[in-house]
Structure 1
Amino acid sequence: MDFRTQIPIQKQQHNLVDYHSKVLLLGSCFVENIGDKLSYYKFQTLQNPFGVLFHPLAIETLITNAINDKEFTEDDVFLHNELWHYFGANSKLSSPSKEELLQKLNQQTVTTKQWLNSASHIVITLGTAWVYRYIEKDTIVANCHKVPQKRFQKELLSVDAIVQSLEAILVLINEYNPKTQVVFTVSPIRHLKDGFVENTQSKAHLISAIHQVVNKRQNYYFPSYEIMMDELRDYRFYAKDMLHPNETAIDYIWERFQNIWIADDALPTMKTINEIQKGLQHKPFNSTSEAHQVFLDKLELKKSAILEAFPHIVF
């Protein structure tokens, strides 16, 4: 007897991810869970060059700026709480130095453009349809950077507004790199600071909009949100905050993603890399013992074999 329902997902038949692929990951913090798995197995990836971006308009702005070679100047940044910030980036890029922040922004813009041009796959994960409009300049921001909330107006993006943004993203990507494959997903992380009903409404808007776009174009939707809500519908799959998927849930969703999007011929390499990664993390009882030296020699042989096949891999 089966005590759960499993979402049926067919393995993709074309353009699967292998060790020659380049995967650009953009969006909410859940995209970094998938990105970290890909990085662990040494796939070629770039994730969130401007940090976590929760809503589609922020991702659209990033892609637009990158493709149009935007050069950031002091007019784009501001000082708050002794740090320089940019409203279109996550706080991890913020800096006590204005010049350092501008350098980061311009360098990450160049890097993003390079990856948009060369990526075989682009994974876009949307987290919320709730956005904050900076009243003074009438612009929607990606991050408020702890600027007082009275300076923002909170808004819920309509389904039509999200569709329009996603369509713009796809036009930009397809014109610049028509060979890339775009995969959409919705983050299973619950944004309960918006409210329980409001979080559900937000996710519904995102899912409705994505499916309108996916149905029009040859793009794909990976149901990470549905897997978490349906297959893993139990609080034992959540972290202590009861909002984020825990390690078990992330591993399970990654396994589903791997079964669908990772090429079969990449699996033996993944297995060897996993052995190497665990070997590198191994802490011996006696680092000078003969047994440990034999272990290290075998580890080096495995690394050499991988690097010979894929010189771009770095351990």
Structure 2
Amino acid sequence: MDFRTMITCPKPDFSITHSDRGLLMGSCFAENIGTLMVENKFCCDVNPYGILYNPLSVAKALRELTLGKQYEESDLFFFQECYHSYMHHGSFSSLSSKECLDGINARLQKGHEAISRLNYLIITFGTSWVYILKETGEVVSNCHKLPADYFIRRRLNVQEIVSDYSALINDLIERHSQLKIIFTVSPIRHLKDGLHGNQISKATLLLAISELQDLYPESVYNFPAYEIVIDELRDYRFYADDMVHPSSVAIQYIWEAFTALYFSKETRAVMKECDDIHKSLAHKPFRKQSEEYKRFLMQIVLKTERLKEKYPYLDVQKEIELCHILLNQ
């Protein structure tokens, strides 16, 4: 008997390879998948603004990256002894405005370079609720614990999201005609909205993505991360201790589903070779000075160099350098 409801997702008409250039934007789920992609030697940038939750903030960030915006002190505000940006995660906040701006603009420059030569874009929506700063009427990405009466809180509707993203996607496709955009909805539940409110919020996001798929069938795709956790895993053992975020096991399960859907057999083989190299480098020898261990390290160097020769776009320089450091100890 089968005790699970399996999610079926049609195989896309493209695959992601290590030679492709990518950008991941959105909630902390985008951070999880992006971290795994970077670890597996994919050429991608992850959340240049830090974690973003609502669709309008993600869209605004993508437009700023496309235009190469650089932030100035007038884009910041001072609160509780720190400088902050309404568009950025609190990890960019600083006691010094210069330090805050330096951190923001360095990441924006890297993000601008990534978006200027893009093959794929992965966007993860977290919530359809937004906070609007009363003073300016702008949707903010982060409230930075300012008093609640500074903001108006409301839920976006499907058409607002579709309208904003239609304009954004048109612009992106004009710049990158072969661009593939993968949308996901974060499986992380926003319990402050209440369980019913969270479901309405997620449903709004899913409906908006479905409409965008209908409008751009050759460019827009959906990966059912939310549905996998809610329907396939459907058990609190797949959540972290807070009972809100997916556990490491759940993230690995979703990652394997993602790789099976979007990576070719050859790409997965390259990932396996990279993983074997990492495991070999993590090996703890009985005697570091032994000839046997040095031969073992030389084999890793040769294996890594052969991999680099076969796939010149793979960034394995750190692994080669680490081998030489271990050899010279």
C-alpha distance in 1 between matches for 2:33 and 2:108: 22
Distance 2:283 2:159 in 1: 52
Q: Which moved more, 1:101-110 or 1:200-209?
A: 101-110
Where does 1:1-315 land on structure 2 (aligned, <5 Å)? 1-14=1-14, 16-217=15-216, 218=218, 219-312=220-313, 313-314=315-316, 315=318
Distance change (3 Å), C-alpha of 1:104 and 1:74: same
**Residue identity matched to 1:69:** G
Out of 21-30 and 297-306, give the one that drifted further.
297-306
* 8 Å Cα contact 1:27/1:52 also seen in 2: yes
Residues of 2 paired with 1:214 and 1:287: CA distance?
A: 55
Mapped partners of 2:146, 2:284: distance in 1: 45
Q: 2:259, 2:268 within 8 Å by CA — same for their partners in 1?
A: no
Shift of 1:126: 0.4
SS in 2 for 1:284: coil
1:152-180 CA-to-partner distances (Å, cap 9, x unmatched) read 22111111111122223212311222221
How far off its partner does 1:7 sit? 1.1
Q: What TM-score, normalized to structure 1? A: 0.94
TM-score normalised per structure 2: 0.91
Range moving further from structure 2, 197-206 or 289-298:
289-298
CA distance in 1, matches of 2:103, 2:114: 16
Per mean C-alpha deviation after superposition, the further-off stretch among 63-72 and 249-258 is 63-72
Q: Unaligned regions of 5+ residues in structure 2, if any?
A: 319-329
Which residue identity is paired with 1:84? Y
Runs of 4+ more than 6 Å apart: none
Q: Distance in 1 between matches of 2:177 and 2:13?
A: 19
State the Cα distance separating 1:34 from its structure 2 match. 1.1
- Counterpart contact for 1:64–1:172, Cα < 8 Å: no
Q: Is the 8 A contact 1:69 1:110 kept in 2?
A: yes
Cα distance change on mapping 1:285 and 1:145 into 2, 3 Å: farther
The secondary structure found in structure 2 opposite 1:118 is coil
Question: Residue 56 of structure 1 contacts residue 162 of structure 1 at CA under 8 Å; is this kept in 2?
Answer: yes
Identity between Structure 1 and Structure 2 (%): 39
Separation in structure 1 between the aligned mates of residue 126 and residue 302 of structure 2, nearest angstrom:
42
CA contact (8 A) 1:60 1:169 kept: yes
Q: Is the 8 A contact 1:60 1:168 kept in 2?
A: no
**Take 1:80 and 1:306, find their aligned partners in 2: how far apart are those partners?**
50
Task: For residue 19 of structure 1, give the secondary structure of its aligned residue in structure 2.
Answer: coil
RMSD after superposition: 1.6
Q: Which stretch has the larger CA shift, 296-305 or 127-136?
A: 296-305
Question: Which consecutive residues of structure 1, in runs of 5 or more, have no partner in the other structure?
Answer: none
Q: How many aligned residue pairs are there?
A: 314
